[in-house]
Amino acid sequence: MNYLTKKTVKDVDISGKSVLLRCDFNVPKDKLGNISDHKRIDESLKTISYLTNNGAKVILCSHMGKPNGKYDKKLSLAPVASYLSEVLKKDVKFTGEVLGENTERIVNSLQPGEVCLLENLRFDSGEEENSEEFSKKLASLAQIYVDDAFGTCHRAHSSTVGVTKYLPSVCGFLIEKEINAINRIINNPQRPLVAILGGAKVSDKINVIDFLLDIVDIIIVGGGMSYTFINALGYAVGESICEIDKLSFAKDMMAKAQEKDVKFLLPLDAEIADKYSSSANHKTINADSIPEGWMGLDIGPKTVRLFSEVISDAGTVIWNGPMGVFEWKNYEFGTLSIAKALSESKAVSIVGGGDSAAAINKFGFGDKVTHVSTGGGAFLEFLKGKELPGIEAIEDK
Ligand code: AMP
**What is the domain-level CATH number for residue 213?**
3.40.50.1260
Residue 172 Cα distances to 42, 119, 148, 150, 260, angstroms: 14, 21, 5, 10, 37
Specify whether 95 is located in the same domain as 216. Answer: no
Same domain (yes/no): 192, 147: no
Domain membership flag for residue 259: yes
With the most atoms of ligand 1 within 8 angstroms of its CB, the residue from 325, 338, 360, 379 to mutate is 325
207 and 276 co-located in one domain: yes
CA distance 291 to 150: 44
Q: One-letter amino acid identity for 59?
A: I
Backbone φ and ψ for 359, nearest 5 degrees, come out as: -65, -45
Q: Give the nearest ligand 1 atom to 320 CA.
A: 4
Structural domain boundaries, residue 245: 183-383
Residue 376 is predicted with a pLDDT of: 84
- pLDDT value, residue 374: 86
pLDDT at 358: 86
* Residue 79: predicted pLDDT: 97
Looking at ligand 1, which atom is closest to the CA of residue 204? 3
Residues 323, 299: contact at Cβ < 8 Å? yes
Q: Do 153 and 10 lie in a common domain?
A: yes
Q: How far apart are CA 56 and CA 115, in angstroms?
A: 9
Give me the sign of the Cα torsion angle 349, 3, 158, 93. positive
Does 384 participate in catalysis according to the annotation?
no
Exactly one of 29, 201, 302, 384 is catalytic; which is it? 201
Residue of the nearest CA to atom 21 in ligand 1? 224
Q: Buried (b) or exposed (e) across 273-297, using 16+ Cβ within 10 A?
A: beeeeeebebebbebbebeeebbbb
* 141 and 222 fall within a common domain: no
Complete DSSP assignment for 62-93 = ---S--TTS--GGG-SHHHHHHHHHHHTS-EE
Single residue among 153, 174, 195 that ends a domain in this structure: 174
Are 212 and 158 in a shared domain? no
How confident is the model over 372-394, as pLDDT tens digits? 998 888 999 998 989 999 999 99
Query: Has 377 been annotated as catalytic?
Result: yes
Nearest-angstrom CA–CA distance, 278 and 265: 27
Ranges of residues in the chain with a pLDDT under 70 are: none
- E strand or H helix at 195: strand 193-197
Does residue 302 have an active-site annotation?
no
For ligand 1, which residues put their CB under 6 angstroms from it?
199-201, 204, 223-224, 241, 296-297, 321-322, 324-325, 327, 354-355
Whether residues 146 and 229 fall in one domain: no
Residues 249 and 360 in one domain: yes
Q: What's the gap in Å between 323 CA and the centre of ligand 1?
A: 7
Question: What pLDDT score does 60 carry?
Answer: 98
Is residue 354 annotated as a catalytic residue, yes or no? Answer: yes
> What is the reported pLDDT for 204?
87
Which pLDDT score is estimated for 61? 98
395 in any annotated domain: no
> Is 21 in a helix, a strand, or coil?
strand
| pLDDT value, residue 165 | 98
pLDDT at 279: 97
Q: What pLDDT is stored for residue 375 in this prediction?
A: 85
Do 190 and 170 share a structural domain?
A: no
Q: Is residue 396 part of a domain?
A: no
Quote the number of domains for the chain. 2
Q: Are residues 230 and 337 in the same domain?
A: yes
> Per residue in 214-256, pLDDT tens?
999 999 999 999 999 999 999 999 999 999 999 999 999 999 9
- Predicted confidence at residue 290, as pLDDT, reads 97
